Structure 1
C-alpha cells in the first residue's frame, strides 16, 4: 500500500482533494494533515471584514472535502520531517509515514525584523488567528471611540485591509504605513495614484517611504524616529518561510522556502512535492494566492503520475496575474500587466469569480 500525505490545507491542496474526489488513486492511502478544520479563502477575507460576506461564505470545510475524496483527515500541525524514515512529525507527538509527500502549508508573516511584533502586533497569518483578533478589534473600536489602528504593509493585501476596516468602522482612526512612495507598489502607476486618492478620500492616514522598526503598546516606531500612535497594529508585511523545511534537510532558497523544479518536486528529495507560498518555484513568482490556486491542477496531475510511475509534466506559472483589489465599498481596482481599471462592475466581476471558486469546493458544488 502506497501512502500519500498532503501536509497543509492550502489552496493547491484543495484542488488535489477535488481531483481525488473525482478519481481515487488505486492502492494508495491518502492523509490530509492540517491544524484547522477549514481553509479560509484569502481572496474573500477583505469582503468579510467590510461586512459583505459571512465568515462561512469565505471558508472551505476540509473534513467533508477530504471525506468525499476518500482521504483521512488529521487535525494537527506539521512541525518537522524525518526524510530518511519518510515520516511527518506533528505537534501532537505523532509521526505519519509517507511514500510521497506534498506540502502546501503556506508561509508565516514576515515580521522578524520588527521588534515587539510578537507581543504587540497582529499578523495576517495564520489567518485563523487573524480573524479572531479582527473580531476583537471591531468589538473594541465599536465600544471605544479612542480606539485606533495602524497597518504595516502597503501592498495589495494591506491596502485592501485598510479600506475594508474603513468600510466596517467609519470613525476608526486608521493609518497605512509603507516603505514605498505610494501604496500598491509594483502595480501600474495609475492604480497607485488612485489608491493614494482613495486613502485620502476615506480619511486613512498614509505614511510612505518609511519602515517600521518596532511596535509597542502605543503604536509603531519608524526608521526616522517618528511614532505612529495606534492601539492596534496589524502586520501585512509579506511572506516568510517556516523554519522546519530547512531544518528537516529540504533544499530551500535563501529565504527558507522549499525549492521545487518545474514538476513541483523538491530539488533535493524527489518524493516530496511543494506548492503555494511555501514553495520557491524554478521560475520565481510573487507570493500570491493567484499562483497558489493555479498550481493546484498541475500538482494533482503530477502526484497521480508519480504514484503511477509515469513521467511527470513540467509546469510554469503564467507571467502575468490578474489582480482584483477590493476597495471596501463594493467597488474594486483591477490590474493586468500595465493595464488598470476600476469601478463597481469590477467588484461584481471579482465577487462572481470568488463565489464560483468557493462553490466548486462546497458540498453542493461537487
Structure 2
C-alpha cells in the first residue's frame, strides 16, 4: 500500500467517532476522509433528553467540522449511494472517491414509506440528526404527537414528548401489546409511567394513512397529530445490498474482525451491519464498543498485519428515560428505577460526548 493510505469513513456513526482519534494517532500520515450528509452527528443516548427538554440540541450532537479539524481529517458533507469493492471507489453526491481502506457506519433509516402520506407528513427517528432538527421546528408551534412503534424506543420517546408538551401524545402499535421485548416487571413499570403521563396507547392498530393533522387507522379511527413519528420499521440504506454482501434484511454481513464478507479492506459497523457468527440486537452500546476494534483493524490492514476479533457482549445494560429526570435500568431481567438512574445516565452520556467530541 502507498505511503499515505487513503482511508474513507462513510458515515459519522458512533463507532467511527470512537475509532477516528486512534486511527489518526497510529497512522499520522494517512489521508482520512469522513463523509456524512450532515455537518452534525446526533448522539442517540441523549435524544430522549432533547425531546423532553433536558438538553439543548447542540448538547447532544457532535460538531463534525470541529472533530475533522482536530484530527486532520477531510470532512465532506454529502451522501454515498454506491461502493465498488474492486475498483476501490465510492459514488457520492460530491463525486467519486477512491480509497485503499473503507468503513461504513451509516446506521439505519426509518422506513414506513408503504404508509400513504408518511413521506410528506411523517418523520422517522432515524437518521437522528434529521429528527432532532424536525423536533426543534415542531416546538415553535407544538400540537398533538403520534408515535408509531410500541417497542422500548417508541415508549421512551412517548414519555419524553409527554413530559415536554403534556398529555397530547398517542402511541400506536400493530402488535397485541407494547414492550413485548421486556421482562414482566420493568414492562409494568413503563406501562405505569405511560399512564401517569396520560399517553394514549392503541394496540392491534394498523395505520392506513397519514394526513397533515391526523393519523387514520385501518378501523377508521382518527388520531389528531401535528407530528407523526416512526419509531419502528428501520432498515439499512438500499444501496448497501446493491454493492456489498448483505443478509435478507439488507444489513452488511461482516466477520468477527468487522470486515465485510469477501471484501478485504472494507469494514462495516453499527446498525447497518451484522456480525454473521454473533448477531446482536441493534443498540448504540454495541457500536461504541466496536470502535476500538475497528481502529485497530483498519491500522492492521494498512500495515499488512493480522486483524483481531471483536467479541460482542451477550448482555448489555439498558437504561430507559422515564420522561422527567428519572430512569429505569435493566440488566439481565433485573431492574432498578429512580432519579439517581437518570443522573447516572447523564454522567455517562456527558462523559462520552466530552471524550469523543473533544
Q: What TM-score does the superposition give when structure 2 sets the normalisation length?
A: 0.94
Selected match of 1:344 from 330, 339, 346: 339
**Number of residues of Structure 1 aligned to a counterpart in Structure 2:** 354
Selected match of 2:17 from 1, 14, 19: 14
User: Would the aligned equivalents of 2:68 and 2:75 in 1 still touch at CA under 8 Å?
Assistant: yes
User: Would the aligned equivalents of 1:333 and 1:346 in 2 still touch at CA under 8 Å?
Assistant: yes
Find the aligned partners of 1:340 and 1:294 in 2 and give their Cα distance. 23
TM-aligned CA deviation for residue 345 of structure 1: 0.8
Selected match of 1:260 from 244, 254, 257: 254
Find the aligned partners of 2:324 and 2:305 in 1 and give their Cα distance. 50
TM-aligned CA deviation for residue 26 of structure 1: 5.4
Give the structure 2 partner of residue 104 of structure 1.
Answer: 105
Cα distance change of structure 1 residues 316 and 113 upon mapping to structure 2, 3 Å threshold = farther
Does 2:149 align with 1:153? yes
Selected match of 1:226 from 212, 221, 230: 221
TM-aligned CA deviation for residue 268 of structure 1: 2.8
TM-aligned CA deviation for residue 276 of structure 1: 0.4
Give the structure 2 partner of residue 67 of structure 1.
Answer: 69
Give the structure 2 partner of residue 4 of structure 1.
Answer: 7
Selected match of 1:48 from 46, 50, 57: 50
Selected match of 2:33 from 31, 53, 77: 31
Deviates more, 1:79-88 or 1:39-48: 79-88
Matches within 5 A, 1:1-366: 1=2, 2-21=5-24, 23-25=25-27, 27-92=29-94, 94-141=95-142, 147-170=143-166, 172-248=167-243, 250-282=244-276, 283-363=278-358
User: Residues 66-111 of structure 1, C-alpha deviation per residue, up to 9 Å, x if partnerless?
Assistant: 233222212221111133321111113x111001110001111131
User: Would the aligned equivalents of 1:40 and 1:128 in 2 still touch at CA under 8 Å?
Assistant: yes
TM-aligned CA deviation for residue 214 of structure 1: 2.8
- Where 1:269 maps in the other structure, the secondary structure is coil
Deviates more, 1:51-60 or 1:318-327: 51-60
Deviates more, 1:228-237 or 1:250-259: 228-237
Q: What TM-score does the superposition give when structure 1 sets the normalisation length?
A: 0.92
TM-aligned CA deviation for residue 220 of structure 1: 2.5
Structure 1: any 5+ residue segments left out of the alignment? 142-146
User: Residues 135-193 of structure 1, C-alpha deviation per residue, up to 9 Å, x if partnerless?
Assistant: 2222222xxxxx321100122221121111111112x5211112344433212211111
- Where 1:140 maps in the other structure, the secondary structure is coil
Find the aligned partners of 1:88 and 1:309 in 2 and give their Cα distance. 23
Runs of 4+ in 1 over 4 A off after TM superposition: none
TM-aligned CA deviation for residue 225 of structure 1: 4.4
CA RMSD of aligned residues (A): 1.7
Cα distance change of structure 1 residues 26 and 356 upon mapping to structure 2, 3 Å threshold = closer
Cα distance change of structure 1 residues 241 and 140 upon mapping to structure 2, 3 Å threshold = same
Find the aligned partners of 2:115 and 2:332 in 1 and give their Cα distance. 32
User: Would the aligned equivalents of 1:181 and 1:208 in 2 still touch at CA under 8 Å?
Assistant: yes
User: Residues 103-147 of structure 1, C-alpha deviation per residue, up to 9 Å, x if partnerless?
Assistant: 001111131332321112111122222122212222222xxxxx3
Structure 2: any 5+ residue segments left out of the alignment? none
